[in-house]
Each structure stands twice: as C-alpha cells, then as structure tokens.
Structure 1
Amino acid sequence: MKHRYSVLLFPLHVFFDFVCLNASFVGAYGWAFGNIDEIAQPPYQSLWIAFNVAWAAIILLTQPYVFPRQLFKAGPLMRKLLMLTSVHMAVIALFWMLFQNVFFSRTQLLITYLLFLITAGLFRLGGLLFLQEFRARGYNSRRFVVVGYGKLAQTITRFYDVHPEMGFRFQGYFDWSTPENAGQLAGDYTQLAAFVKREGIDCVYCCMPYIDNVQLKQIVDQSERLDFQIKLLVDFRGFLTKGASVEYHDFLPVLNLSTKDLDSFRVAFLKRSFDILFSAGVLVLGSPLYVLVGLITRFASKGPVLYEQERIGQHGKPFMIYKFRSMYVDAEKAGPSLSQGLLDNRITPWGRFMRQTRIDELPQFVNVLKGDMSVVGPRPERQFFIDKIVEIAPEYTDLLKVKPGITSIGQIRFGYAATIEEMVQRLRFDLLYPKRRSLMLDLWIIAQTLRVMAQGRGR
C-alpha cells in the first residue's frame, strides 16, 4: 500500500485541532472565572457544543487539511489556520446573536481564540518540522520519474535534490535514446509501464517540450491502470513574469502571453489613489509656492511662465507635459536637442536654480491628476529621442508598459541626460521600476527626490 503513513495525517490533524480547541475553551473558562466547575452546565454547555459543531462543519465544508507537499510550509499552514479561525468566530458570533438573552463572557471568548491560535499554531509548526525531518531521512517518500530528457527535466530533479524535506525520490529519466542522452536514461517509452509497476512509482513528470501528444496519451492511459499521478512540466520561464494568464475557452485552456494588461487591480488602484491624493495635496498646499515661482519665472526672462511639450506616455500615447519654463524662448528653433546640463547657454539663470532644485517639474502634478502621468515612473521622452534610443536599446519599450512619472530611479541616480548614450545609461536604472513597482518603492523614491531637491543636486 502506497504512503501508508500519509493516510494518518488527516485524522491526526483533525484530532489535534479538536484537542487544541477544547483545551483552549476549558483553559479560557478557568482563566475568566477561576474554576471550571460549571463549564458543563447551561449556558456554557450549549456554547461548548456549538464550538465543536461549528468546527466540524467548517472542516467538512472546506476540507482544509489537504496540502500538496510543495505547499506544506509554515506560511500556507498559518494562513489557513487564521482563515478557519475567522470563519469559526463569525459562526459563533451568529450563534451568540440567536441567544442574546444569555450572558457569555467576552473575555472567555477572546482568550479561547488566542489560546487556540497559539496551541494549534505550535502544533502545526511542530508537526511540519517533524514531518520535514521524517521525509528528509527517507521515510514517507514518493518516488518519481521524468519523461522527456532535457534542461527542464534536469531542473525538476535539481529542485527536489535541494528540498529533501518534501520527500520526493528521483528514480530515472525516460526518453528515446539519442547521442545527447546516452547513459542518462533508465529506459525508453516502451519500458516505462514495467518500470513504474516494478519500482512502485508514484508520480510521472512529463516534460512538454520533449514529448508529443501520442506518447502523453499512452502514459495517461497507463496511469489509470497502474495508479500513478501525472504532472506536466511546461517551460513558461520568461513568460509568467510578463503578466501571462490562463483563459478557458469551454474546456480548452489557453495561455495568454499578452503583456498589455500588466497591472494587477490592487497595484493599479492603490497607485492611482495615491497619485490623486498626493498631487491634489501638493497643488493645494503648494499653491503659494506655485504663484511665487511663476512670478519669478515671468520677470526673470521674456516668455510664458509654463512650457508645454509633447511627450510619449503609457502604451505609446502622446500627451502634453507642463513645466515651469527654464530656457529662453525659441531654444529649440533649430530642432529637437537634449539639454547639455546646467552649463547649457539656453537655460536661464533662474532656470538653472529650478533645475537644481527640480521645482521646474512641479506643474507636472497637473499631468498626474489628468491621468497622463504618475508621481513615480520612468521619465517621459519625445518620440524623436525614443526612436534613437530603441535603435541602441530595444528594451526601452518595456518602460511604455507603465505610466511615466515626475520622478524615477533614473532621475535620482543619474539625473538629466545630455546625449542619447546617457539616456541609455539612465534607462538601466528606470528598467528596474516596472518589475518591482509597489507603493513602498514609490514612497522611497519620493523621499530620495526630496533629499535631492533639498541638497540642490539635480542636474
């Protein structure tokens, strides 16, 4: 009989949870009332029964003790415990509402759940450590083979080699013999069924790059007769990190590799909410500064206070960006050109100060409210320069998957770029953002930007 010890895990889990639940209930009663003499008398008799009935019903409905070995870890176990306890608390609260005329101690209930979380949590952690050590020593193990020899097949065997606590024991590769796999195989496809039966194989991993549908169907048919699991290995590396998802067309699963909808709802919602609140706060609280900077800009040199220019935003959509004018009028009448830094003679004296302190960027908070930009994101560029950058660094197009921002990692670490080569260098920093963006990273970048502004180190 395969895994004769595994069948004991479920009843043991159920048994110890009931022990922890009842011990916590009794202990909390003694803590709250000083003794347990009347715990089996009304009204706590009915509450005690309700505790056990509710837990049993939750177990039957949710079947919470079924964990694949790959997920049998502290994190999933504790999250499941918290979920079960929360549901149990809701059921008991409903029970309490039905008996509003009966007094139950809130202190006793609170202590019961605290004790239960502690004892059940310790039981899970202790059981996890014991079982991992038990399996690492070779007990309660599952034997597996890999069908289809190649790099992906070697990856799964290395994974279980470095995780002996999962209890998977590799028994060999199966594939048609070729010069490349000479000496590496335990047999070919015609020998697989006999090997599985003889060695008591529990699981067969099938590597999709190296096996066709005819051979896979034969293995599936054999699994029903020989009682072993089949797991498919598909090489999705490089796809799933770019927002791939699975769609179902009736019964047919389709892998969507499109990266257009990269944002998860949670990240997009939090980021947009933060952008609106932060920008509105800056515009309202900073209105005196806006007026002051506008007046100085107006009288420091001839020309408008604000400067508008077309930039390219998310998914290649153009928009008009707003800045306090830091250059003389008609500075680019000869054609598009990059700033040569603070020594650029097209920049006004006041403009140099604004660029050092980054206050020329302040009107872009209007762009943020309009939805064209975000507070944090890669710097938006003109199409003219994007075309030149892409010729050198095609990966620049990855930045168009997210909204451009007022400030970015590249702006902090590198600053303004005077040449296409420098823009490519700054790109190396900005490419870190789409993969790692989060609210905490945005707050860190904003804090670093404020530091640059205060020190006047913008360039």
Structure 2
Amino acid sequence: MRHRYSILFFPLHVIIDFLSLNTAFVGAYWIKFQTLEAVSEAPYASLWWLFNVIWLVEILVLKPYIYPRQLFKSGHLVRQLLLLTFIHVAIIAVCWIAIQGYYYSREHLLITYIFFLALGAIFRIGGVLFLKEYRARGYNNRRYIIVGYGKLANTIRAFYDVHPEMGFHFCGYFDEPTVENSEFLRGEYEGLIDYIRTNHIDCVYCCMPYMDNERLKSIAENAETFDYQVKILVDFRGFLARSTSIEYHDVLPVLNLSSGLLSDFRVSILKRSFDIVFSLLALILGIPLFLLIAAITRITSTGPIFYAQERIGQGGKPFKIYKFRSMYVDAEKTGPVLSGGLLDNRITPWGRFMRKTRLDEIPQFYNVLIGDMSVVGPRPERQYFIDQIVEIAPEYRSLLSVKPGITSIGQIKYGYAASIDEMVQRLRYDLLYPKRRSFLFDMWIIAQTLRVMAQGRGK
C-alpha cells in the first residue's frame, strides 16, 4: 500500500503535541506547588481544559501540520511551534483578563510554556533527524518521474540526488525521443500513463519549456484517477527579479517580474540626491587636483587632456563618457580594441599611474551631475562589446536596468578587463548590484574604492 507510513505523520504529530502540552502543564504545576492532588480540581481543571481546547482550535483553523517534504526541516518546524505557542499565549492572556483569573499562578504559566517549547522542539528536531536517516536508507520514499528532458529536468533531479533525506526516488525521464535525449529516456509520452499506473508513481514533474499544454492537460486529468501529484517547472533563472509577485487579473494569475526595488521612489530619490551632492563636492573641492592632473597629462604626452567615448547607459541609451586621457592619440584608429591591462603599450606611463589610482575616472563626476551616470553602479560598456558579452552571458541585459557608475563591485574585485572573457568574469560581480542596491551598500563600495585608490591596486 502506497504511503502507508506517511498517513501516520499527521495524527502522530497531533498526539505528540497534546502529550507535550499536558505534560508541561502538569509538570509545571508540580514544580510550582510540589503536589499534583489539586491539578484536576477547580480552578486549575478549567485552565487545563482551556489549554487543550485552544490548541485544538489552532490545529483546526491553522492546519499547522500540513506541509510538503521540502519544508520538513528543523528550523521551519521550530519557527512554526513558536508562532503557535505565541498565539496560544495571547488567547490565554485574553481569557485570563476576561474572567479576571488573577488567582492563577503566572509562574506556573511561564514554566508550562517553557516546558512545552522545550518538549516540542526536542520532538521536532529528533523526528526530523530520524526521518532524514530513515529516508536516506531508502525507506518512506516518493517515486517521481520528469516529463520533458533538458537542463531544467536535470536540475530538479540533481536537487533530489543531493538531498536523499527528502525521500524522493527518481524513476526516469519521459519525452519525445531525439538524437540528443534518446539515451536518457525511460519512455515516450504514449507509454507515460501506463508506466505511472504500473510503477505506482507518486509525483510527475512537468518541465514546461520542453512539453506542450496538451500533454500537460492529459497528465493533470489522470492525476486523481491514478493517485499522483503533478508539479510544473518553469525556468525563470536569469531574469527572475528579487521582488517578483503574482497579480490576479480577475481569475487569471499573472507573474510580475519587475523588481519593486528598482522602481522604488524613495530609493531612487535618495540615490540621485546623493549623486548630485557628492559629484558637486568632488568637482568643486577637487579643482586643484584636476588642474594638476590636466597639466601632467598635457606635458607627458601629445594630445587632448580629456577623452570622450560613447557608452551605453540605463535602458540602452547611449551617452558620452569623459575621462582623463590615459592612452596615446589614435590608440583605436583600427577600430574598438579592449585595453590589454597596465602592460598595454598604448597606455602612457602617466596613464598607467592614473589607472592604478583610478584618477582617470574623475571627470565622470560631470556625467554623474548631468544624470548619465551614478557614483556607484555597473561600469558602462560600448555597444560593440555588449553585443559580444550578451552572446556569452545574456544576463548582462539586467545591468541596463540601473544607471552605470564610476565605481562598482566589478571594478573593486576585478578591475579593467582585457578581453571579452574577462569582461564576463567581471560581470559576475556587477550582477550582484541590482539585487542588493541600497544606500549603505553604495557607501561600502565607495569606501572600498577609496582604499583601492590609496593603495594604488587598480588594474
């Protein structure tokens, strides 16, 4: 018989909690009064019954013992116990005030809840540890198959392979056979339902990128008949925003992938206000330094002091970025070329020093002031290189949702990139920024940038 043990978890959980609650109540009474003779008499008999009735109502209303195997973890169960106990305490407190039951010992109540939490936590943690070991040995398993073979299918299988304590036993892939997948398949769609019935499959994972709605409909319609669960997998990796939410248009659920953080008005206003103040102070107070750098740039090599180049900003909008010139004139006369690092022979000796100390980036405070850039943000690139980066790492497009910056995590941790591969490696750092953007995080990046400049460790 399938699930012959799983059906016992719910009543066992209920019984253990009631035993813990009553043991705690009686034990606390003995500790407080050193006797058990009057615990079943008025007035404590009424309180004892009230304890049990309230806990029963919580179980019936909140259904706290119904959860998937993925949530059967010590931390989740203990947090749930704390929540249920808090609700229980609150209701008892209201009843205590309503009946003016000041004759009940508050010390007894405190000890009761401490004992109950201790017993409940011990049983939950012990039960989870036992069940993990029990399932890891091959018992109490759920048999599952995956319909639709591909990367997403391999991901869900790998997840259960590294978590044997969840008790999911893989029974095969099903899909239309192709040259690429034929060696991995257990069977085709035509034999799927027969396989589920004869092999007592408990769960069917359907990978939507690799199967159509008609197949899914057929699988779902047979689920009740043959007693199996249907779970749908959709691959949102690479573009799923942190603040994703579900909106309902009448009865139609719509997944909103727009990040609430990036459109948050207060965050945007605070960041822009800081950019204006900071860039103004940098431009005004840095005038003596600017003049010195400009003079040395002019003296050490022939050509203009400043260098302007088109970059791609927020939303894909092009703008002119300004720097102190660190290369010889006509360094890119044959077309766009990435810098080869500090050893690039196109860089002037003075330019190497400016790059190591980030001094060549100072004119970009003007870009910040006029709104093309921010003090902190992913470094802007040219369209020529963006096209190549996107072919390797499509997630780069997410960086265009925020303003580019003078400094970034990638600049601190990686520095200048001398090839497309290095740009992709630096991208891994910059991709953290849109997800973690905040004023304090910006301050941390600025502090790290100042440290790099002072130590001359830029590259």
Counterpart code for 2:65 = Y
Counterpart code for 2:125 = L
Q: CA separation in 1, counterparts of 2:362 and 2:100? A: 61
**Offset, 1:71:** 2.5
Q: Which range moved further: 66-75 or 45-54?
A: 45-54
Q: Could you tell me the TM-score, scaled by structure 2's length?
A: 0.68
Native 8 Å contact 2:247 2:254 kept in 1: yes
Q: CA separation in 2, counterparts of 1:94 and 1:319? A: 64
Native 8 Å contact 1:357 1:457 kept in 2: no
User: Counterpart of 2:128?
Assistant: 128
User: Counterpart of 1:387?
Assistant: 383
Counterpart code for 1:35 = Q
Q: CA separation in 1, counterparts of 2:121 and 2:151? A: 39
User: Deviation digits for residues 32-63 of structure 1, max 9, x if unmatched?
Assistant: x3635555566655544443333222221111
Residues 1:23 and 2:20 aligned together: no
**Offset, 1:189:** 4.2
Coordinate RMSD, CA, aligned: 5.4
**Offset, 1:315:** 2.9
**Offset, 1:10:** 0.5
User: Counterpart of 1:305?
Assistant: none
User: Deviation digits for residues 58-113 of structure 1, max 9, x if unmatched?
Assistant: 22111111121233223332332233233333333433443557266555544444
User: Deviation digits for residues 279-331 of structure 1, max 9, x if unmatched?
Assistant: 89x97xx98x99865688799999xxxxxx9997543568999x9x989xxxx
Would you say how many aligned residue pairs link Structure 1 and Structure 2? 430
User: Counterpart of 1:35?
Assistant: 34
**Offset, 1:254:** 4.7
Structure-2 change in CA distance of 1:154 and 1:359 (3 Å): closer
Native 8 Å contact 1:409 1:430 kept in 2: no
Residues 1:433 and 2:438 aligned together: no
User: Deviation digits for residues 346-395 of structure 1, max 9, x if unmatched?
Assistant: xxxxxx99x95979969969969x998766422467xxxx3354355346
Counterpart code for 1:122 = I
**Offset, 1:404:** 3.7
Helix, strand or coil at the partner of 2:65: coil
**Offset, 1:227:** 2.5
Q: CA separation in 2, counterparts of 1:297 and 1:228? A: 71
**Offset, 1:244:** 6.5
**Offset, 1:141:** 2.2
Residues 1:12 and 2:12 aligned together: yes
Counterpart code for 2:383 = D
Q: CA separation in 2, counterparts of 1:326 and 1:361? A: 8
1:197-208 paired onto structure 2 within 5 Å:
197-208=197-208
Structure-2 change in CA distance of 1:174 and 1:341 (3 Å): closer
User: Counterpart of 1:70?
Assistant: 70
Q: CA separation in 1, counterparts of 2:374 and 2:137? A: 53
Q: Could you tell me the TM-score, scaled by structure 1's length?
A: 0.68
Q: CA separation in 1, counterparts of 2:148 and 2:423? A: 44
Structure-2 change in CA distance of 1:275 and 1:177 (3 Å): closer
Q: CA separation in 2, counterparts of 1:228 and 1:204? A: 7
Native 8 Å contact 2:388 2:420 kept in 1: no
User: Counterpart of 1:139?
Assistant: 139
User: Deviation digits for residues 396-441 of structure 1, max 9, x if unmatched?
Assistant: 5432222444532233245679xxx589956743552333643686
Native 8 Å contact 2:3 2:140 kept in 1: yes
Counterpart code for 1:124 = R
Residues 1:217 and 2:217 aligned together: yes
Q: Which range moved further: 50-59 or 127-136?
A: 50-59
Q: CA separation in 1, counterparts of 2:175 and 2:364? A: 64
Q: Which range moved further: 117-126 or 90-99?
A: 90-99
User: Counterpart of 2:330?
Assistant: none
Native 8 Å contact 1:204 1:228 kept in 2: yes
Native 8 Å contact 1:358 1:458 kept in 2: no
Q: What percent of counterpart residues are identical?
A: 49
1:350-365 paired onto structure 2 within 5 Å:
356=357
**Offset, 1:252:** 4.1
Native 8 Å contact 1:311 1:318 kept in 2: yes
Q: Which range moved further: 398-407 or 388-397?
A: 388-397
Counterpart code for 1:166 = M
Counterpart code for 1:51 = F
Helix, strand or coil at the partner of 2:451: helix
User: Counterpart of 1:164?
Assistant: 164
User: Counterpart of 2:119?
Assistant: 119
Q: CA separation in 2, counterparts of 1:146 and 1:427? A: 33
Counterpart code for 1:77 = L
Helix, strand or coil at the partner of 1:393: helix
**Offset, 1:8:** 1.0
User: Counterpart of 1:330?
Assistant: none
